[in-house]
Amino acid sequence: MKHLFLMTAVTLCSLASMATDFTGSLNVTVNGTTAQHNATISIDQNGGNYNLLLKNFTYEVDGVTKNVGNIALTGIPALNAGGKTMLYADQKVAIANGDDASATWIGPSLGEVPVKVLARIMDDYAVVDFQMQLQDVVAAQFNNVGDHFQIPNSDFEDWAASSGEPDHWHGFKSASGWLASSAKGKLGKDTDVRPGTTGTYSAVVTSASTFGIINNGTMTNGQLNAGNMSATSTDNHSHMDVNSTATDNNGAPFYTALYAAPDAIKTWIKYTQGGNNNNSNHHANLSAIAFDGSYYQDPENKIYTNVAAKAVDTLIVNGDWRQLSIPFDYNTYASNNASVEAVLVTISTNAKPGQGYSGDKVWVDDMELVYNANVTNFTHLGNTISGFNPDVHEYTFTWEGDGNPEASGYALTVEGKSAVTAVNVETVENGYRVVAIATSGDLMTANAYVINYEVPAVGMPGDANEDDKVDVNDVTTTINYILSKNPSPFNYDNANVNGDNTVNVMDVTLIINLILGIH
């Protein structure tokens, strides 16, 4: 079904100019319960950094609404890779009152609160995730991506077409070919839906017999062609071409453009054989072809070199609802060097044309293209970070290197065909922060890993009272220590000017010499 994520729409040109407000749906999770709100978020670029503002934030706990206020983060460094901009911030934020003067806003009374932000932006789409410690631990997600990286109507809830076919999906009623009007395989709507869904409908394809020949029930996000009386002829196929101007009954094209390379296709399937048969030699099938958008048909009538990857399952067995996850195979087709610009999905009641029984049925619900960003290793200069665990996202070490840590020395190993990674190094109080982010092609998944490097403090010889200067007060402090008067503050290392690991009258003399400029 349609998923809700935290995201904000923003164009690159708007990021480079003034702040722009974006309104969308905000999912807020508190104590394991998620509620949806409308919200406004603002992003602007400030030099090489970004500012981000979540306006008029509220959340609910046990039926009580808490008005928090305006949450602003400033000076967020940008990481860039593969056309994506990634932002990571871990700041303590003083929350301001919201815009409604009549409301009681609790944010200002909370003082500075810790807020983490992980944002991903590409073209007109972005994802922003918040984690906040308010009066409760709160996670928030804002979404505008919709089905941009998915096949439209992949939950099969929209059925506006007069043909009775699901929007953006097609059977023989919208087929091309001289036998299209004679094809008996059916595509329709059903209320038999997968377990656990909140949706109302699934799509179902049903086979039929014409003159003793089985017409497989078939559906596709492309267009079917019925062009031959022989069931095994490749004149009977699904096809797609992004350059085609043909449209369906809704005026939509017979193609689905891709904006990133998916790693798998997931869907819920139910398959039953007609006449109460349960023939183990008969299987339904699903194929998904990622290709460069130029003409392609399934089954193929020649060798197509425009294929980038295939995800195919020709062994879907008779049985009740189950979820399939079929990986795309890019390796087999790597020599084609084909770009990923479109995806053709075809589902049929039998993997073999003309086989099966009249009344075979395949139900389909909640289809999803999967884009991964699974981090398997984090290295520095080729060596795995000490104690690295993909489930642990923050580490603290002492920096012992010469100079500053360099971003180029760090790398994430990530599983995901269209995933990108980037690393940034910030100078922070008492050290450095290394931020490494892996982002999936559809922006929905991001994994950030942070290394906090602490730089050992360099003492000031003679500064016994730690006031960052050497004067007569340090002489007094050191004498009081020698006389066991326990002065506070007192820095033993600074007072031990001669480095003999003993603070005595010799160190007092050396401190006086430092004050007098005698070396």
Q: Note the pLDDT of residue 108.
A: 97
Q: What is the pLDDT of residues 177-222, one digit of tens each?
A: 998 888 778 999 999 999 999 999 999 999 998 777 788 999 999 9
How would residue 419 be classed by pLDDT, with cut points 50, 70 and 90? very high
* pTM, two decimal places: 0.85
Q: What is the pLDDT of residues 471-488, one digit of tens each?
A: 999 999 999 999 999 999
Residue 154 to residue 222: CA distance in whole angstroms = 13
Residue 20 has pLDDT above 90, yes or no: no
Average pLDDT over residues 270-278: 94
Is the distance from CB of 219 to CB of 306 less than 8 angstroms?
no
Q: Note the pLDDT of residue 125.
A: 87
Integer-rounded Cα Rg, in Å, for the chain is 32
Q: Note the pLDDT of residue 15.
A: 40
- Cα 439 vs. chain centroid, distance in angstroms? 6
Q: Which residue has the higher pLDDT, 46 or 282?
A: 282
Average pLDDT over residues 305-321: 97
Q: Measure Cα distances from 96 to 43, 56, 108, 292, 490 in Å.
A: 17, 9, 6, 49, 40
Is the distance from CB of 378 to CB of 410 less than 8 angstroms?
yes
Q: Note the pLDDT of residue 400.
A: 84
Q: Is 44 exposed, middle or buried (0-12, 13-18, 19+ CB in 10 A)?
A: middle
Is the distance from CB of 265 to CB of 246 less than 8 angstroms?
no
Residue 270 has pLDDT above 70, yes or no: yes
Average pLDDT over residues 34-57: 88
Residue 113 has pLDDT above 50, yes or no: yes
Residue 317 to residue 320: CA distance in whole angstroms = 9
Is the distance from CB of 150 to CB of 192 less than 8 angstroms?
no
Average pLDDT over residues 223-235: 93
How would residue 410 be classed by pLDDT, with cut points 50, 70 and 90? very high
Residue 16 has pLDDT above 70, yes or no: no
Q: DSSP 3-state assignment of 174?
A: helix
Is the distance from CB of 289 to CB of 344 less than 8 angstroms?
yes
How would residue 46 be classed by pLDDT, with cut points 50, 70 and 90? confident
Residue 261 has pLDDT above 70, yes or no: yes
Domains and CATH numbers, the chain: 12-143 (2.40.128.350), 172-370 (2.60.120.890), 374-454 (2.60.40), 472-516 (no CATH)
How would residue 18 be classed by pLDDT, with cut points 50, 70 and 90? low
Q: What is the pLDDT of residues 364-390, one digit of tens each?
A: 999 999 999 999 999 999 999 999 999
Give counts: helices (H), strands (E), the chain: 4, 29
